[in-house]
Amino acid sequence: MSQPPVTETPDEIFAREEEPVDGLHKEEAPPRARGSVLGWMRANLFSSIPNTLVTIACAALLAVAVPPLIQWALVEAVWSAADPAQCRAAEGACWALIEQKHRFILFGLYPFDQHWRPLLAVALFVVAVAVSCHPGFWRPWLAVLWVCTLGICALLMWGGVLGLTFVETERWGGLPLTLILAAVGIVCAFPISIVLALGRRSEMPAVHALSVGFIELIRGVPLISVLFMASVMVPLFLPEGVTVNKLLRALIGIVLFTAAYLAEAVRGGLQSIPRGQFEAADALGLSYWQKTVLIILPQALKIAIPPIVNQFISMFKDTSLVIIIGLFDLLTTAKTALTDPPWRPFYVESYLFAGLIYWAFSFFMSRYSLFLERRLEAGAKRA
């Protein structure tokens, strides 16, 4: 995932050449930390009395918590059972629930015999993300790849052509729905947020007022109410007979909400760019948009990576709020799977399963942002 770049950038080569070569003075190696485990423990776990106490307390806590957890989750767990009675008889976790219900949790109400379609769509999407993450693939054809991937995904999900049965968006659910909400949300909200952030810093009063008004209005209300408005209020204003797809309404709500928050993260980045950068660009005769796109945004967005990714992660999990307008996202399907009475007692397992999927995606975003920060750091600044 976060492999260091394989290729050596020219500046690294230069930097090496510049290292002082001094024939008379023999370089002394820096003192190495002792390699032994005991030495490390003494230095890090028992360096002082408070440190020792904290170490002992942590060890005690782990000793109390971990063995029962392993006992429950692994040793005494029921991994496979067609009959929930087997689970009820056992002491441990009922992973059999996942075995029985994972297809519903992952794909919701999507026609059971067509589950290969959302599965393939998710797989394609994950592969496309993985490819895009590698800096070596940051080439123009990546855009083509994405257009193709999303096209194929849409085709798979909707169907209606090439012998695939048509599946309306009302029946989409589970992981594909969560990923659609998050991906479309991120992709659409990000450019809007940049425009909003620039607008908020604009010297044109109308643009400034509009941006501030939008950001403050959206930030001032909870996401649930934005979704609710998008779902319930919007159709009221539309003429009779015109309907907007429920999924689309949810997406609009999520995009607007995320854009408002992201805009503030981007603005933070913009504000940290020294005035001299703007002046130098002005003095060279660059236009406003040239200055913004070529000079300011590359620097500002780099600085804003942590809050931006923070917002992405937060928004990814917030998609679970679409339950309010009746969409079956991953968390909702995990919950709905439990409406089957014999399986009802095993809600912990179901939520853990959904939680693990959320965590995997969020953790990936977090690590990737760290990698990106480090890479951009290595590229530019050596001040």
Partner 1 sequence: MSEGSRPETAPAITLEHVHKWYGSFHVLNDISLTVRRGERVVICGPSGSGKSTLIRCVNGLERHEKGRLIVNATELTPDVRSVERVRRDVGMVFQSFNLFPHLTVLENLVLAPVWVKKMPKAEAQRIALEYLGRVHIPEQANKYPGQLSGGQQQRVAIARALCMQPQIMLFDEPTSALDPEMIKEVLDVMVELAEGGMTMIVVTHEMGFARTVANTMVFMDGGTIVEMAPPETFFTAPSSERTRKFLSQILAH
Which parts of this chain interact with partner 1 (CB under 8 A)? 10-11, 14-15, 274, 276-277, 279-287, 290, 294-295, 298-299, 302, 379-383
Q: For residues 287 and 314, which CB has a smaller minimum distance to partner 1 in the complex?
A: 287
| Helix residue ranges per DSSP H, the chain | 10-18, 37-44, 49-70, 84-89, 96-107, 116-133, 141-158, 174-200, 205-219, 223-228, 234-237, 246-271, 275-283, 288-290, 297-303, 305-318, 330-336, 347-379
| Residues 226/257, Cβ–Cβ less than 8 Å | yes
Cα–Cα distance between 107 and 184 in angstroms, integer?
18
Cβ nearer to partner 1, comparing 103 with 302: 302
> Between 282 and 340, whose beta carbon lies closer to partner 1?
282
Give the separation between CA 337 and CA 101, rounded to whole angstroms.
Answer: 7
- Tokens representing residue 324 in the block: 């309010």
The residue (of 18 and 240) whose beta carbon lies closer to partner 1 is 18
Q: At what angle do helices 174-200 and 205-219 cross, to 10 degrees?
A: 140
Indicate the residue among 126 and 204 with the shorter CB distance to partner 1.
204
* Least Å from the CB of residue 268 to partner 1: 18
| Residue 81 phi, psi dihedral angles, 5° rounding | -165, 130
Please report how close the Cβ of residue 18 comes to partner 1 at its closest, in angstroms. Answer: 8
Burial class, 83, CB count within 10 angstroms (exposed 0-12 / middle 13-18 / buried 19+): exposed
Query: Is the Cβ of residue 159 or residue 379 nearer to partner 1 in the bound state?
Result: 379
Angstrom distance (rounded) from CA 310 to CA 314: 6
CB of 375: closest distance to partner 1 in angstroms? 13
